Structure 1
């Protein structure tokens, strides 16, 4: 009877301890599940923020999500914030109603966590507003404020809360194990006469309770340390077996959801830009793969070195001092191993903690070595083409001068006045074209000429060519400071030559002296060219009906310029004024013939 009573008492007491352990384990399991859900929700909110930044095109070359719309990502982020608040309310209610010994201390930790979550939520919402106003500044704030605050304050707080609970749970299980051990000793003394039975009972209790509890304890500890691959192997179907199954299911779910955190890390590592993080003393505390590759260092070699060791302060120190604090991106040079200079686009920003204190710096550098080489190759090629084009203009001018000289010799050798006249006129036309190429050769742009200078040179050449002892014809020019490209300059020059030569030859027949005035100005989208003389005068019908080469060229060249001309009387009704109006444009390559 005594043995039976002791057995019943022992069974009741063991059951009470086991039930208490199961209740505490279940509550701990629930707390771990709530805190894990809260942590995962926070990580997912950060992933959404990162995806919003990437979808908005802040950093070129970054790996992005599957192209969700920015509106949908923001909506998903806000829904995630609501779920976070629900999870926190569940955790707060749990601490208020839980019978765990650590509930009071955990409640204080939960309040501190609440303040950090609220600060993180407010920072995130302000960041979304800033993203609409200034995408570049939003990128900097995300990398220097939101992400570091999340990693340095929220994640450790949740982990500390969970680990503290698990430690209390482990200690409580140890206490219960001690109680079981004391119970076994009491039973051993009480059943001194029944040693064999006591041993069997002890073995049974140990095997049915102690071993599963030990496995459960070890599994909970490893889960709390982040080993989500650990599986608790308990085959029983009792409460402990169900609890072990719950732990295994929870670990499996956590493993799937924590991929989001790894995804964030992979984004940073996959950036094409080099990213370097330093502490307040400018010592390197973090660097991604692109930075290691660019500087040709291993992670173990570079961590702890001063970042200024890699700045080319000797040649670019002044630029760095000027630009380092204004948050701008500027060209700079970094020094890799063996002092190899690397040109980069560089920016440096302060790393600020949640208290507004500077805790370090974030440096971003983009290697532009290949771009520099391409720019230099383009400049070299451009210089070669400029030299070639200059030589072409020079050779064309020289060849035209040779042709002009040949025509002049031929004119001197001819005894036919008509032939001499035709050769002289051809020489004047060639001279007008040669002057264009001569001015292009001397102009640094190789494409435009100062038409004011050209007109004066052309009039001087015509005056010398048609100089006569019997006539005193003066040539005056009033030309604005106008630059024409070669496609307009050549037909305009030929046109001016024909009009002036025509006036020179025909306006002053039987007159001893006269004056020819040339003017050119800009009028809106048009150029206005005018040639006026005080000679005999010319009717418009005469020019239209004339079949001479000179007058035919005037009409043809005006048409080629897509302009129009009119013939007016000169001042006080004397002489002729020919006005040509043509648009400011580049001639089509098909119309460049002259």
Structure 2
């Protein structure tokens, strides 16, 4: 027990300032907002406040003189004795058990999750430790509720992606069926292009459905799979026309992936239809890079290149009348990005943009009015 006067120094050095009266110290401990326990160098409880009684279910007189381990679960008591001895050899104010869960034990045996702070007190009667205990049960309960809410939302998002993917597959199948009724090659080509666009959008939802991250997709992996399927849809001989995707991991959200994917789809389709018509072989390359500028979000640069005949000089791709290039320019507006053409050696389109943030998407104009003119679609 602390008798008469106690000299306190929270830095654990012998106090030189005037002594604090025992009653003043007790009143300060009692008025603390947390459960407070004063323990002597031997680990015996010498002082508690009323919040300790409320937290652990013991009456004050039941705890006075008891070992501090009485407030711990049985399985932790032996280890705590060793910890206590270690702390007393180097008594520095610090939180206890940083990075791991700590538990106390109620009188009825219930384990209580706690946050513990330790403050050494050097007095004329020896070293004491003032421990503060915060009940974490309500916080843990809120955390579990939040985790359960997140699990429910993940299940819902997976179901949404699954249904969207299935609906897009149905649309693609309907386009295939409709194309089978036409004998006109031009009509069949329009249906195939539309079907491929729908498939490109559906692939995003397929990847998100199977991913642990339900709102982000790796752009390089998506473009690699999407363009590979695109080559298959054109019946491309992979020994004659090769596709290479060079990409570092670039995770983007659904809106960004959707716009970028459709743009790349149109550009690769354009290369497959027009770049190698006179020789039947060539290479298409997709190169994805990121650049960090100041404090803004990284700039994503996607280059789509082919070593084919080159883009016609008499066509302004930004004012093109074909549906494919009109769609490309519209999607660039939605991405709030820019695109440049280099036709010096083959054709290279360089698309630059940043990941779309919430409410940044620009609505597409009402419909397209593609002309029958224009060699590039």
TM-score interval, normalised by the smaller of the two chains: 0.7 to 0.9
User: How far off its partner does 1:476 sit?
Assistant: 2.2
How many residues align? The count is 344
> SS of 1:554's equivalent?
helix
Local SS of the residue matching 2:212: coil
Distance 2:81 2:253 in 1: 43
In 1, Cα distance between equivalents of 2:166 and 2:314: 38
| Shift in Å, 1:300 | 2.6
Structure 1 residue aligned with 2:336: 562
Kindly state the Cα deviation for residue 307 of structure 1 after the two structures are TM-superposed: 2.0
The CA deviation string for residues 124-166 of structure 1, in whole angstroms up to 9 with x for no partner, is xxx7xxxxxxxxxx5x769x968994236xxxxxxxxxxxxxx
- Contact 1:270–1:289 (8 Å) recurs in 2: no
Contact 2:114 2:133 in 1 (8 A): yes
The 1:267/1:277 distance shift into structure 2, 3 A limit, reads closer
1:411 counterpart residue number: 179
Cα deviation code 1:490-542 (max 9, x no counterpart) = 10001100111112112233443232222111133311111112222213843
User: 1:220-264 deviations in whole A, cap 9, x for unaligned?
Assistant: xxxxxxxxxxxxxxxxxxxxxxxxxxxxxxxxxxxxxxxxx66x6
Specify whether residues 282 and 544 from structure 1 end up closer, same or farther in structure 2 by C-alpha distance, changes over 3 A only: closer
User: Distance in 2 between the 1:489 and 1:320 partners?
Assistant: 57
Structure 2 counterpart of 1:170: none
Matched position secondary structure for 1:339: coil
- What is the Cα deviation at residue 415 of structure 1? 2.2
C-alpha deviation, 1:372, in angstroms: 0.9
Describe the shift of the 1:451–1:148 C-alpha distance in structure 2 as closer, same or farther (beyond 3 A): farther
Q: TM-score, normalised by structure 1?
A: 0.53
More strand by share: 2
Q: Does 1:304 align with 2:60?
A: no
- Which residue number in structure 2 is paired with residue 377 of structure 1? 145
> Does structure 1 residue 576 correspond to structure 2 residue 347?
yes
Return the index of the structure with the highest Cα Rg.
1
Equivalent residue, structure 2, for 1:546: 320
Q: Is the 8 A contact 1:316 1:333 kept in 2?
A: no
Q: 1:341 aligns with which of 111, 120, 130?
A: 111
- 1:429 is matched with which residue? 197
Match of 1:536 in 2: 309
Contact residue 478 and residue 520 of structure 1 kept, 8 A: yes
Instruction: Please name the residue that 1:364 is paired with.
Output: 132
* Contact residue 397 and residue 435 of structure 1 kept, 8 A: yes
CA shift, 1:349, in A, is 4.0
Note the residue ranges of structure 1 that are not aligned, 5 or more in a row: 1-115, 128-137, 153-260
Q: Is the 8 A contact 2:158 2:209 kept in 1?
A: yes
Aligned: 1:445 with 2:213: yes
Structure number with higher helix proportion: 1
Q: Is the 8 A contact 1:149 1:353 kept in 2?
A: no
The answer (yes or no) to whether the contact 1:532–1:570 under 8 Å persists in 2 is no
Aligned equivalents of 2:66, 2:79: Cα separation in 1:
23
Query: Which residue pairs with 1:386 in the alignment?
Result: 154
Which runs of structure 2 are paired with 1:175-574 in the superposition (5 Å)? 265-315=26-76, 318=79, 321=82, 325=87, 327-330=93-96, 331-354=101-124, 357-358=126-127, 360-467=128-235, 472-524=240-292, 525-538=298-311, 539=313, 541-571=315-345
Q: Secondary structure at the match of 2:329?
A: helix
Aligned mates of 2:80, 2:179 — CA distance in 1 = 68
- Displacement of 1:291 after TM fit? 0.8
